[in-house]
Chains A and B, each alone.
Chain A
Amino acid sequence: MAETLRQPVSSIALTPANKPKTETSKISVARLLAIAGVCLTLLPIVPGLLWVLWPAFNMDVWHALVTDGQFARALISTLSSAIGSTLLSLMAASLIAIWLYPGKGWALAQRQLPIFLAFPHIAFAIGIAFLIAPSGWLARGLANLLEWSSPPQWVSIRDPYAISLTITMAIKETWFLLWIMATLLGEQAISRQITLANSLGYSRRQVWISALLPQLLPRMGWPLVAVLAYSLSVVDMAVILGPSTPPTLAVISWQWLTDPDAMTQAKGSAAALCLMILLGLLIVLARALWWWIKRLYRDPTGIRKPGRIFKTRAVSGIPVFIPGWLALAILVLWSVAGGWFFPNLWPNSLSLKSWNSADFGPMLTALWIGMATVMISLPLTLAWLEWGSRKHHGWLYAPLILPSLPIAAAQYHVLLHLNLDSTAIGVIWSHLTWTFPYMVLVLVGPYYNFDNRYLCTAQALGHSHLNACLRIKWPMLMKPILAAMSVGFAVSVAQYLPTLFSGGGRFATVTTEAVALSAGSNRRVLAVQSILQTALPLCAFMLAILLTAWYSRNRQGLK
């Protein structure tokens, strides 16, 4: 995929000269450092993973898996929810971008994005469940209109076809893809193309379809794989919204892997391996599909279709986020609700009782773990992107495209042997496995598209490579770097399995707390922890935006 990154598909691309610098003279210390950092974070997982997956290399285990009564149905709902949510989110994000970019609506949408990127999957799923469950807000509204006295017997969450799970994941991932698009569109090279193409007489729609999307989509390859991998292996959301008889494959795998029985565990390993194989097949399939689409639309005719003047108003940036705002609203309402029974639309009383008795310890724990993780990931990320190998880049994303459960189990095994389990170092290291690749993922596009002539000039003027990066390159990339840091922080905060495994359960963060509480029944306390879980990454994203704005206040080109 790295090759396609540097292959301008469109004829009007204005990609700057972007050859990787060749430094044949010396294998610099920095380069070794970049590789050492990666080795330290990712390599130890390999033996751990072997240990976790070893039981799956046995035909009896596969036979037991395939003949298990739950397997076939679980496979179908896993595939349908993963493929469905990935395709839906890609379509939705593309349509929204076509509709809104460039314009005031896009700007408004971008201003709201951080809120919903920061909205953790679990909290969003809980909010959606509060909305659409048979006793949720929607049903309460209808009940008041139609004078129902008890909730309807509709099947709106945990439906057997995983429709509610698919749609909820699609909405959540649409925001993620929109944000990736926004980062890509923010680059000078691309935004200038619209002006250029418009001046050549192409309509907005034509510009998008024949110039922008063909450039954006290949570069969104890895983010899309991450979305697909996430939806294939998601456990927490699937438990809240997914089917239960049987659950999705990832949930079954999780249940089996934590079972004390050896054969059941082996089946869990096999199911985890199965998820990886599925992902591989789907990626191959998607690549083939893309190749075919590219062939189909190879020759631009050059015919200009003027199209009508298309002006969106700022308000059109709002509907994209309606589900998000509603989910957020009902979480806030539940966090301050007193008694609230069906079919009342509003709580009988409002009180701050749940907030006064809330435990803020988990928030602080998540905060320092997240900050430490990002502070270690950042130099690793920059070193890797600057001095690491561009060719051997794909395997860095392995943690993002593998189900997190076997990796977390693998990490735990490694830590156990090093006598580092249940320590802060162990937990932070286990988070690095995800924050580091995510930060690389966010930064890689802008980084490789950086016009390296700046760096050349700086070096020609006598700066060392490192100094040129420190003084010129990294400050110019401040916006994506800050974005990457906030994503890294959000990723760290959201980690459930690694925190639990590597921390021996001793590090209670907002996420472990929310999941532990979701086993209890108090919607108020659950709502409070969900809001706290949302607040942390949200503040990080806000900070990134404010810092970017402040930093670029007198530099037009950085905005």
Chain B
Amino acid sequence: MKKRLLAAAVLAIAGTALTHTAIADEKWDAIEAEAKGQTVYFNAWGGSENINGYIEWASAEVKKRYDVNVELVKITDAGEVVKRIKTEKEAGRNTGGSVDMMWVNGENFRALKTNGLLFGPWAESLPSWQYVDTKKPVRKDFSETTDGLEAPWGTAQLTFIADKNTVAEPPRSAMELLEFATDNPGRVSYPKPPNFHGTTFLKQLLSELIETPALLAEPVDADSFAEVSKPLWEYLDKLHPVAWREGKAFPANNAEMHQKLADGELKLSLTFNPNEGANLVAKEQLPPSAYSFGFTKGTIGNVHFVAIPFNAKAKQGAQVFANFLLSPEAQVRKADITIWGDPSVLDAEKLTKEQQAVFNKRAPGGLSEAVLTLSEPHATWVEALEAEWLKRYGSQ
């Protein structure tokens, strides 16, 4: 009797589980069916041919498999797209918006979320979600919960690049960096905030210099900000006089820093993609003697996402495309350093041996050491740091 009850219970549980998956499958089938023939305008930063090439490949694949057309809209700053969606909302354009999907994270995601500009939740009901490594911070974007409003696409970690011929022993902490800059006057710099990489550099310094790092996980407190961030400004006041152009000018972005590193005008560059150094060497944009490194106590890392605006025209098509981008096949290809080299958000253990092997591929120029990942400060720190930086160093 007991056994029979147990069996019935097991059957019942299995049954509900089955119907659950069946319902989910059905729902997804419906989405796929609706997506057929839709055109997805995917707004993404268009400054790298590797990334553009990868997106082109993915577009061709979803066209072939799901009959979804993806048009890449190359943008220079995601903030502009946020503004456009906001303007559309203000003008009463609640359907048929110009953006179907966008590449986003951090303060731009926060702006979209708090202004109610996003469609969803949808991300965690994607079939590919099962492969996602939920131990990675895929549910938090700069300490802001994602709530299924955006699907993870890749991970990033602040990584420095130098040239073996000029820098044999790289600096391994904020303090060592200052010493390094003092020894090499005029050869160290960072992109001018509010450039994304420049702001990340500030956050990296702050996370090392701040007295109570726990504060960074909280929204910034306007009253104590001056006191809490003081060590950072004191540090920069010492760094700038020995920096490139005496800290009176800064490179516009990290791409310009790579160029200056190649030219020998700077001795260090930085990137958010641990494999970018390898990519640049392969494309002869950096000499073969270039290498990547991190700080001993770790560097800031985060996840970047794709989101669907509330007024997107092709919401189903966008989900199908996002699901494909999150599939093991697409993620493995993305992680391949000869293609793009963007680290995956998937759990390697859920993948095949061959697929895992791609993740472990290394190439000269890329990051070959294990560097601890520090989490991003809360999104509100970005604005506070940028505003204060501009006030102090924006005009000199």
Contacts and interface: CB of A to CB of B under 8 A. Distances in A.
A151 interface: yes
Interface string B13-46: 0000000000000000000000000000101011
Interface string A223-247: 0000000000000000100011110
A495 B327 CA distance: 39
Nearest to A252: B394
Contacts of B88: 416
A413 B91 CA distance: 8
Interface stretch (B70-78, B141-149, B215-223, B360-368): B70-78
Interface in A512-533: 512-513, 515-517, 519-523, 525
Contacts of B283: 522
Name the prevailing secondary structure of the A interface residues.
loop
Contacts of A72: 395
A135 B396 contact: no
A508 B74 contact: yes
Contacts of B75: 505, 516
Contacts of A47: none
B259 A523 contact: yes
Interface residues of A, number: 49
Interface residues of B, number: 59
Given A160-B248, A245-B192, A522-B285, A150 B98 contact: no
Interface stretch (B79-87, B152-160, B334-342): B79-87
A505 B76 CA distance: 10
Contact of B86 (A158, A260, A413, A513): A260
B84 A522 contact: no
A149 B166 CA distance: 11
Q: Which of A70, A412, A506 has the most CB of B within 10 A?
A: A506
Contacts of B393: 245
B395 A69 contact: yes
Contact of B74 (A153, A258, A422, A512): A512
B213 interface: no
B76 A259 contact: no
A173 interface: no
Given A504-B73, A521-B285, A260 B82 contact: yes
B47 interface: yes
A129 to B, nearest CB: 10
Contacts of B93: 416
Interface in A102-150: 134-135, 149-150
Interface stretch (A271-279, A337-345, A474-482): A337-345
A361 to B, nearest CB: 11
A421 interface: yes
A308 interface: no
B62 interface: no
Given A259-B83, A522-B285, A245 B255 contact: no
Nearest to A417: B91
A345 to B, nearest CB: 13
Interface of A: 69-70, 72-74, 134-135, 149-151, 153, 155, 158, 160, 239, 243-246, 258-260, 338-342, 357, 412-413, 416-417, 421-422, 504-506, 508, 512-513, 515-517, 519-523, 525
20 contacts: A69-B395, A73-B395, A135-B260, A149-B264, A150-B187, A153-B244, A160-B249, A245-B249, A245-B394, A245-B395, A258-B80, A341-B264, A342-B263, A342-B265, A508-B73, A515-B76, A516-B74, A517-B47, A520-B49, A521-B285
Interface of B: 41, 43, 45-49, 71, 73-77, 79-84, 86-88, 91, 93, 98-99, 111, 115, 166, 186-187, 192, 244-245, 248-250, 252-253, 255-256, 258-260, 262-265, 280, 283-285, 287, 390-391, 393-396
